[in-house]
């Protein structure tokens, strides 16, 4: 008998990584990126008040973080008009999705998402032996009607919707999402990933109702609040569901420094507004650069712009490769026909200067290679 | 049908918390602790170099952390004389134990540990539906012979040993642990939790052999390196086992700030030695205070001293309650007969001044309540 003995499920899983990180790519290339525009990080960074709060917390990191994340949950509850009992904090949306899937998905249970939607959610579903059932995007949007129809058909335990969507940057109105919630089949929970919602127009997020057991909202400090490396996310939902996270979560797993930073970031809404303005300006400039190069930017409610390169996935993959070769880290959708696009995160003016000078040559090289 | 539908396993679990954190207690009391000596945190804190590295990393926390934790793994590999392929980084030993249990324990699989050993390990085993089989401590030590005998008898997939032990602070020699490894039944992995091993005498940790698939070593930056709130642990083992963590771990889950801090802390071994000296001094003083009060301190290879109060568990619980009432946060073992003891973490000289003045009154009060 070999040691260790893995579970049959674990033995069956591939050792996949949802994404290859930019540092991993840099080491493989032997060269640093000049602009980091591939992971939808927020180059404008955290609020100076959050930076100060984190730096002040560093000498106190000999203490475990508050296992209840009390102060952060209290502030989030006030911010969202719910109670603390409606909120659980975790290591980013990634960590919270893992806990949620573990709580609900046993082997063979079905889960519905969009083909090409967030791969880390799929990673968790596969990791707990769930059966992923995918519906296509429709006109570069996730398709609420198809998601509901499929969830009903396969009696899904979870249905996943990112609004706004990643990787396309498109979005649905709050009315559309509310309608989707109303049409959920019995016993199916909507996982509403709102990682990018702060960037979206007013009227994108439905009102949060802490009494509604049909939906769980995922929010993060990684995007608009500029703290991806701090690993702080929040799940907001019905008390019974939120309570259940206590059965599986890593109770002392939240960094003390990160908790302090997230609280200060949330309380600095002025800085958030400044960030949103900078991101909007960057989105406009990315779109302009795309059009100047004969490409078609999609409308975006996020901190990235997805750009239709007008040909097939092979061509877009070549563009991404040529950009990376030229030290600009970007990514692109995984599935056709969305993979005709490339995806570029909002950058600083200096980042976008580089984008502007690099994109024409990358496009030329890609065109020459894929005639 | 109710929403959400939990898995049968999750429905069966109690919403337990392995420990109640000190902040939770403080809010319940409505009063802060004057000394925080209950969670085996390291009051002497991280190296100044680690503090600087973390503070310098704060403005960069807009970037996700390196998903491979490359630099930290490289440094740990050099430190321990293994390769990077033998090391995976996780959110403390707690997080790594959760992943390991998930990889190996399916419902009904048996796992052996000591009654009264680390409850967070038990939490994970229960959380994945494993069957915990416990053997008693023997003379306030974990009992390698009994653990091996029980693991053999029940065909356990995992057997857990903390060396040095928590909550008793006792330890076994490297020879004893090596002998235990040699006597492991086929197919049983030794989970060797060495959270406290830096505090232990030379000759407590067996040599690390990256080619040995029978044992996985758990190390942490929470204890000797003074970074409990940063959540950095390392699992060291055979490449095949370490690779398998990629199937379940949260690939972008490590805080960028924490990774930077752990690397700097590891590289400042001089500071570690200073900490170890301060902890040794604190242990001696705690032991002296215990003896002055007619109690019996146990020898300790950790950063805490477990003290035999000479009566039963009810008395020790009363002592803990009276200490907490007097604003000194301490804890104690959970199971008899070890629960005749209280457990006090190494504190600053000021902390131990408070301990010295408070313990006599707490003991008097406990004696008066339990005559």
ipTM of the complex: 0.97
Give pLDDT, residue B371: 61
Contacts A7 to B, Cβ<8 Å: 102-106, 109
Chains A–B, number of C-beta pairs less than 8 Å apart: 286
How many angstroms separate the CA atoms of B86 and B82, rounded? 6
Say what percent of chain B tops pLDDT 90: 96
Which of B51, B61, B103 lies at the smallest CB-CB distance from A59?
Answer: B51
Question: What is the distance between the terminal CA atoms of chain A, rounded to a whole angstrom?
Answer: 55
- Both B112 and B228 in one domain: the answer is yes
Cα-only R_g, chain A: 21
Is the minimum CB–CB distance between B182 and chain A shorter than 8 Å?
Answer: no
**Contact: A253, B231; criterion CB under 8 Å:** yes
How many angstroms separate the CA atoms of B147 and A177, rounded? 55
In a domain, A207, yes or no: yes
A263 touches A54 (CB < 8 A):
no
- Both B275 and B205 in one domain: the answer is no
- Residue B308 C-alpha, separation from nearest chain A C-alpha, in angstroms: 26
Q: How many CB atoms lie within 10 A of CB A272?
A: 17
How many angstroms separate the CA atoms of B371 and B352, rounded? 28
Stretches in chain B below the pLDDT threshold 50: none
Find the CATH number of the domain harbouring B188.
Answer: 3.40.640.10
In a domain, A186, yes or no: yes
In a domain, A143, yes or no: yes
Retrieve residue B47's tokens.
Answer: 């190296």
- Residue B310 C-alpha, separation from nearest chain A C-alpha, in angstroms: 31
Mean pLDDT of chain B: 97
Structure-token match 């400042």, residue found: B268
**Contact: A252, B92; criterion CB under 8 Å:** yes
- Both A37 and A53 in one domain: the answer is no
Nearest Cα to Cα of residue B174 among B155, B189, B158, B161: B161
Residues of the domain holding B329:
20-45+270-369
Residue where one domain finishes, among candidates A204, A238, A267: A267
3 state SS for B182-210: HCCCCCCEEEEECCCHHHCCCCCCCCCCC
Is the minimum CB–CB distance between B352 and chain A shorter than 8 Å?
Answer: no
How many angstroms separate the CA atoms of A111 and A102, rounded? 12
| Residue of chain B whose Cα is closest to the Cα of A156 | B5
Please identify among residues 72-131 of chain A the ones whose CB lies closer than 8 Å to any CB of chain B. Answer: 91-92, 94-95, 98, 102-106, 109, 127
- Both B187 and B211 in one domain: the answer is yes
- Both B161 and B229 in one domain: the answer is yes
Interval A161-210: pLDDT, tens: 999 999 999 999 999 999 999 999 999 999 999 999 999 999 999 999 99
Residue where one domain finishes, among candidates B250, B267, B284: B267
- Residue A293 C-alpha, separation from nearest chain B C-alpha, in angstroms: 29
Nearest Cα to Cα of residue A297 among A328, A343, A334: A343
**Contact: B105, A3; criterion CB under 8 Å:** no
- Both A257 and A305 in one domain: the answer is no
Mean pLDDT of chain A: 97
- Both B83 and B30 in one domain: the answer is no
Domain count, chain B: 2
Q: Where are the beta strands (DSSP E) in B6-85?
A: 35-36
Nearest Cα to Cα of residue A133 among A143, A125, A141, A124: A125
Say what percent of chain A tops pLDDT 90: 96
Residue where one domain finishes, among candidates A267, A284, A305: A267
Give pLDDT, residue A57: 98
Which of A3, A7, A57 lies at the smallest CB-CB distance from B214?
Answer: A3
Looking at A42-139, list the stretches that DSSP marks H as alpha helix, in order from N- to C-terminal side.
Answer: 48-57, 70-80, 92-104, 119-127
Is the minimum CB–CB distance between A351 and chain B shorter than 8 Å?
Answer: no
**Contact: B62, A43; criterion CB under 8 Å:** yes
Strand partners for B331: B343
Farthest-apart Cα atoms in chain B, separation: 63
Interval A264-320: pLDDT, tens: 999 999 999 999 999 999 999 999 999 999 999 999 999 999 999 999 999 999 999
- Residue B230 C-alpha, separation from nearest chain A C-alpha, in angstroms: 5
Is the minimum CB–CB distance between B41 and chain A shorter than 8 Å?
Answer: yes
Total residues found in chain A within this entry: 371
Farthest-apart Cα atoms in chain A, separation: 63
How many angstroms separate the CA atoms of A20 and A324, rounded? 13
Listed in sequence order, the residues at least 6 apart from B298 whose beta carbon sits closer than 8 Å to its beta carbon are: B140, B168, B169, B170, B305, B306, B307, B308, B341
How many angstroms separate the CA atoms of B168 and B341, rounded? 9
How many angstroms separate the CA atoms of A366 and A370, rounded? 6
Give pLDDT, residue A2: 78
Contacts B45 to A, Cβ<8 Å: 59, 61-62
In a domain, B11, yes or no: no
In a domain, B61, yes or no: yes
Interval A75-95: pLDDT, tens: 999 999 999 999 999 999 999
- Residue B368 C-alpha, separation from nearest chain A C-alpha, in angstroms: 34
In a domain, B13, yes or no: no
Give the phi and the psi of residue B75 in degrees, each rounded to 5.
-70, -40
Find the CATH number of the domain harbouring A33.
Answer: 3.90.1150.10
In a domain, A13, yes or no: no
- Both B275 and B238 in one domain: the answer is no
Is the minimum CB–CB distance between B229 and chain A shorter than 8 Å?
Answer: yes
- Both A214 and A259 in one domain: the answer is yes
In a domain, B12, yes or no: no
How many angstroms separate the CA atoms of B218 and B208, rounded? 11
Choose, out of B44, B131, B187, B252, the residue to mutate when testing the contact with A (most A CBs < 10 Å): B252
- Both B56 and B37 in one domain: the answer is no
Contacts B2 to A, Cβ<8 Å: 187, 213
Retrieve residue A223's tokens.
Answer: 């995007």
Give pLDDT, residue A59: 98
Please identify among residues 258-317 of chain A the ones whose CB lies closer than 8 Å to any CB of chain B. Answer: 258, 261
pLDDT band of A371, cuts 50, 70, 90: low
- Both A133 and A231 in one domain: the answer is yes
DSSP A49: H
Choose, out of A4, A190, A191, A242, the residue to mutate when testing the contact with B (most B CBs < 10 Å): A4
Looking at A186-312, list the stretches that DSSP marks H as alpha helix, in order from N- to C-terminal side.
Answer: 239-244, 256-267, 269-292
Contacts B257 to A, Cβ<8 Å: 54, 58, 229-230, 255, 257-258
Report DSSP letters for B110-146, one per residue: EEEEETTS-HHHHHHHHHTT-EEEEE--BTTB--HHH
Is the minimum CB–CB distance between B231 and chain A shorter than 8 Å?
Answer: yes
Interval A136-161: pLDDT, tens: 999 999 999 999 999 999 999 999 99
- Both A41 and A99 in one domain: the answer is no
Give pLDDT, residue A16: 77
Strand partners for B281: none
Listed in sequence order, the residues at least 6 apart from A6 whose beta carbon sits closer than 8 Å to its beta carbon are: B103, B104, B244
How many angstroms separate the CA atoms of B155 and B188, rounded? 7
A336 to each of A136, A339, A358, B228, how far by Cα in Å? 9, 5, 26, 45
**Contact: B229, A64; criterion CB under 8 Å:** yes
DSSP B327: T
Nearest Cα to Cα of residue A320 among A41, A37, A117, A40: A37
């Amino acid at each position: 008998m070999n040691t260790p003995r893995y579970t049959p499920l674990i033995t069956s899983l591939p050792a996949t990584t949802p994404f290859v990180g930019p540092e991993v790519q840099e080491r493989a290339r032997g060269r640093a990126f000049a602009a980091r525009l591939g992971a939808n990080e927020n180059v404008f960074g955290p609020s100076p008040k959050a930076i100060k709060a984190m730096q002040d917390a560093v000498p106190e990191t000999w203490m475990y973080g508050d296992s209840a994340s009390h102060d952060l949950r209290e502030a989030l509850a006030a911010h969202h008009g719910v109670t603390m009992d409606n909120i659980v904090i975790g290591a980013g949306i990634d960590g919270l999705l893992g806990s949620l899937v573990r709580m609900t998905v046993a082997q063979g249970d079905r889960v519905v998402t969009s083909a090409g939607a967030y791969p880390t959610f799929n990673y968790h579903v596969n990791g707990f032996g769930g059966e992923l059932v995918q519906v296509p995007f429709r006109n570069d949007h996730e398709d609420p009607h198809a998601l509901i129809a499929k969830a009903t058909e396969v009696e899904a335990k979870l249905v996943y919707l990112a609004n706004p969507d990643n990787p396309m940057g498109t979005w649905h109105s709050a009315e559309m999402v509310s309608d989707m919630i109303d049409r959920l089949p019995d016993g199916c929970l909507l996982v509403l990933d709102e990682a990018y919602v702060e960037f979206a127009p007013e009227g994108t997020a439905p009102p949060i109702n802490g009494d509604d057991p049909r939906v769980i909202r995922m929010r993060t400090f990684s995007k608009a609040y500029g703290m991806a490396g701090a690993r702080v996310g929040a799940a907001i939902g019905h008390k019974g569901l939120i309570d259940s996270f206590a059965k599986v979560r890593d109770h002392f797993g939240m960094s003390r420094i990160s908790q302090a930073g997230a609280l200060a970031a949330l309380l600095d809404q002025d800085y958030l507004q400044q960030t949103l303005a900078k991101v909007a300006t960057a989105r406009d400039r990315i779109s302009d650069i795309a059009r100047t190069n004969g490409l078609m930017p999609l409308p975006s409610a996020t901190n990235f712009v997805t750009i239709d390169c007008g040909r097939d996935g092979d061509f877009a993959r070549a563009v991404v490769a040529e950009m990376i070769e030229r030290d600009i880290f970007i990514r692109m959708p995984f599935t056709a026909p969305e993979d005709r696009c490339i995806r570029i995160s909002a950058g600083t003016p200096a980042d976008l200067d580089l984008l502007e000078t690099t994109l024409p040559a990358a496009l030329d090289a890609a065109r020459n290679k894929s005639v």
